[in-house]
Amino acid sequence: MKITGPIVLPAAAVLATNPLLPRQSNVTDYNSAPPNLTTLGNASLFETWRPRAHFLPAYGSIGDPCMHYTDPSTGLFHVGYLHEGASGATTSDLVTYTDLNPNSEPFIRAGGINDHVAVFDGSVIEKGINGTPTLLYTSVNYLPIQWTIRYTKGSETQSLAVATDGGRNFTKLEHGPVIPSPPFAYNVTGFRDPYVFQNPNFDQMLESSNGTWYTIISGGIHGEGPSLFLYRQYEQDPYFENWEFLGQWWSEEANSTWTEAGWAGRWGFNFEVGNLFALDSNGYNAEGEVFVTLGAEWSYKPIVPQVSDNREMLWAAGSHKFVDGNLQFVPSMAGRLDAGRSAYAAAGKHLPASSQAGQSSGAPDRFISYLWLTGDFYGTLDFPTTQQNWSGSLLLPRELSVGYINVVDNALAWEKGSWRVDSQNDNGILTLATLRQQIAREPLAAFQQNATNSTTQSGGSISSSRTFDRSPRSKHYMMTASISFTTRTNDDLKAGFSILSGPNENTNIYYQFSNESLIIDRSNSSAVSATTSGINTDNESGKFRLFDVPTANGTSIETLNLTIVVDGGVVEVHANDRFAVSTWVWSWYEDSTDVGFFVEGGEVEFGEVKIWEGLVDAWPGRNSTS
């Protein structure tokens, strides 16, 4: 998602052009009720909700992650994001990062001939023109752009830039866009975010030379629906100046959905930020199963031009067929990559085993994806951004792979959902396949190894909420826990944890079978919401199924395994390596640090809960005051 319409971010706009604001009147009292935060001085809230272990610029707003790549000459992984153009940082371990430029200044800025008004997402061919990392990005010359309005011809084109100075700058090539328009006479809703990839199966199916580069471009067609447009590097032109349109690789009917049951949100009207890659059970494998992550834009009725916009961060996997000579994708399963409504615009990249991170951890070829967590709900919240002097963050990097689960062969497994039946065994057991997603192994390990304080809370059968014996002293920690349910038919039952809680505030994270959802109840999460606009406390909710699984002596409901990361205002909840819901919790009080069991309407069995406090400073090279 880019700021593509008249929806403006007054504060963020200031941030986008100003350097780090001087901290003013930093005497905020977190032990009494908050004032209206907009009365506070510039940057006075800089530390209040700032995450420590997450990826975000030194100051200012972060937009979509994009343009990641491993520099073949250094093995460093470059993580990019929209920020005054696009900026980035390098990492050798996915734990700590080094800004490419001081103050997170961008490696590419808008304002060239092809991109007067904006640089939108792009992706990098690692060994591109003259063997140099080469960026294919959306160059924007006209705004507004939104699927709800008539498309301005030529507003989005795809252009090239090449890395100089180790990627600290990407220099735009002195020629026009290499994809100068959508396909002829396509009345598009959007046409952006080119995602380049190589794929030997595509080469074979499309009779391309080995190693041909492809790109998908995300968008849609007015009156038809969202779409991913497929292009191929033409005749292996070493300058990547010509891309051949190969049809709509994937299109869905407007306002349709994978399933109305809600396993995969809505396809909506326009796709954005599509990534196309292939996975196996170990991670990235170009010969593996084809997956897509994508953002979908839609609206409740009535659709209000330039205003209506709901977003879904989805994934899908599937197979191919040829229709009228065009290669088309047929989804076999689809789901939400993150159920948090502020989590969007995931951008991933193949991280090879040969990268520095891969060599250090011994990880195989991986596909690493970063999601954006917007800090002001896509510019619609009047958040006190000037006081905070930053907005938004990326979520922790995730490793994606194909996950398999053995489940009982029953209706729960056969429903059309965010999984597919991979195989049917003789003994009444099904193997389901789905997208496995886990916090990348390095930060997961680092949070444990570097904990300044780690505690264990024993579990047991619990039927009422209570605070842990020892809670964290800060708002930066990771916890792991498990919950076993004995029945799925108790609609009153809610079980999980309270976090960031105290006498004045609390946030509850729980699962309930009534709608098979994992919920983050933020309704009492922030005292600030009473004094200051832009502090959203709506609940987050994501549909997640616990299957029936075989056990030694029969069957049981699959255990809910949670990994929760609290990092300043960022809360990530991961479940069973296949579900995530992330959000902001803007707790105010210094004593809102309690963690506890949360149970209502029944009894569940909690496993041991572990808490690792402290996390890791992801930006050791920055001149931090925290």
Residues in touch with a second copy (CB under 8 A): 113-114, 116, 141-142, 152-155, 157, 174-178, 180-181, 184-185, 234-235, 241-242, 244-245
116 vs 466, beta carbon nearer a second copy:
116
237 vs 469, beta carbon nearer a second copy:
237
155 vs 285, beta carbon nearer a second copy:
155
Q: How far is the CB of 245 from a second copy (least distance, A)?
A: 7
Cα separation, 200 vs 278, in Å, equals 10
Q: How far is the CB of 125 from a second copy (least distance, A)?
A: 17
Q: How far is the CB of 177 from a second copy (least distance, A)?
A: 6
What tokens does 183 get? 């396909």
Q: Number of helices and strands (H, E) in the chain?
A: 6, 41
Q: How far is the CB of 221 from a second copy (least distance, A)?
A: 14
**Alpha-carbon dihedral sign for residues 303, 304, 305, 306:** negative
Q: How far is the CB of 244 from a second copy (least distance, A)?
A: 7
Q: How far is the CB of 114 from a second copy (least distance, A)?
A: 8
Residue 296 contacts residue 314 (beta carbons within 8 Å)? yes
48 vs 233, beta carbon nearer a second copy:
233
Residue 538 contacts residue 522 (beta carbons within 8 Å)? yes
Cα separation, 161 vs 329, in Å, equals 30
Give the burial string for 427-466 (b: 16+ CB within 10 Å, else e): eebbebbbbbbbbbbbbbebbeeebeebbebebeebeebe
Neighbouring residues of 118: CB distance < 8 A, sequence distance ≥ 6 = 2, 3, 110, 140, 143
Q: How far is the CB of 152 from a second copy (least distance, A)?
A: 5
327 vs 462, beta carbon nearer a second copy:
327
Closest to 349 (Cα-Cα) out of 358, 341, 340: 358
Cα separation, 274 vs 315, in Å, equals 9
Strands of 98-99's sheet in order across: 69-70, 77-82, 86-91, 98-99
Cα separation, 401 vs 586, in Å, equals 32
Measured in Å, how far apart are the chain's first and last C-alpha atoms? 30
Cα separation, 450 vs 448, in Å, equals 6
165 vs 235, beta carbon nearer a second copy:
235
Q: How far is the CB of 297 from a second copy (least distance, A)?
A: 21
152 vs 523, beta carbon nearer a second copy:
152
109 vs 473, beta carbon nearer a second copy:
109
Residue 604 contacts residue 361 (beta carbons within 8 Å)? no
